[in-house]
Copies of this chain bind each other. A is one copy, B any other.
Amino acid sequence: MFSTEPSNVSPQEPRKAIYKYLTDEEKVELDDHLTRTQIKKNDFIFKEGDKPLGFITLEEGKVKIFKEGVGGREQILRMVKPGGFVSYRALIAGEIHIASAMALEDSIISVIDADHFFNKLLKNTQISTRLLTKLAKELGFSNSRTVTLTQKHIRGRLAESIILLKYKYGVEPDGSTIKAYLSREDLANLSNMTTSNAIRTLSSFVTEKVIAIDGRKVRILDHQKLERISKLG
């Protein structure tokens, strides 16, 4: 159900996801309208309510996109990996950001200014088609998540989040340790639960030998069982 292909194929995607659709000439032109920026861990890239500055892709690092809900409780909507898009929805919709973006580790982003994005890139049919497809898939993902997060029980939600992280960020050479080290709080905010319950449920998964944890490292011991927990909640 996740709109992401497993990422453990190549160590890192090509730095600029857009490049493959451009001629050499266009690439040079793009570079004039592109700013690479270092983002430190826990720094915001944009906040709910901000006007989108441009089209932002992630070159290195990890980023979470989240929304503040009732009483400041945060819900992580999606995670970004290198080669992925950090800011595009609000820009395309012509809206202000309805969510915030924060770096989960030291990261590098590319900001393409809005003018160039609309007047050049979006006029490239390959790119606009790619974006259309991307948005359609992302909408499907979001719809599925809505149902998951509202209907599955706590164990199912956490199991699904762990599987999601595995497919998004891939695994270490050992084939089972997820290449993403989230705090229990982030794990909770991804799964719509309190931190206490994330910790508790994680512990019971360990007891049941579904996963093993070492600090923030999560190793999946029994993927089948994890899928079963995710499905039957």
Contacts and interface: CB of A to CB of B under 8 A. Distances in A.
Interface of A: 1, 67, 69-70, 73, 75, 77, 88-90, 92-95, 98-99, 122, 128-129, 131-133, 135-140, 142-153, 156, 192, 233
Given A143-B142, A146-B146, A136 B89 contact: yes
Contact of A139 (B69, B142, B148, B233): B142
Copies in the complex: 2
A89 B139 contact: yes
Given A70-B151, A70-B153, A132-B135, 7 more contacts: A75-B151, A89-B139, A93-B139, A122-B129, A135-B135, A138-B139, A150-B192
Contacts of A153: 70
Given A70-B152, A147-B67, A150-B149, A137 B99 contact: no
Contacts of A142: 139, 142-143, 146
A88 B137 CA distance: 11
A224 to B, nearest CB: 20
In this complex, which of A122, A146, A149, A233 has the most chain B Cβ atoms within 10 angstroms of its Cβ? A146
A129 to B, nearest CB: 8
B150 A150 contact: yes
A80 B67 CA distance: 26
* CB-based closest 4 A-B pairs: A93-B136, A69-B151, A135-B135, A92-B136
Contacts of A192: 150-151
B149 A146 contact: yes
A230 to B, nearest CB: 11
19 contacts: A67-B143, A70-B151, A70-B153, A75-B147, A88-B136, A89-B139, A89-B140, A90-B140, A92-B136, A93-B133, A93-B136, A95-B136, A95-B137, A128-B128, A138-B139, A142-B146, A145-B146, A149-B150, A150-B192
Nearest to A1: B98
B133 A94 contact: yes
Contacts of A145: 146
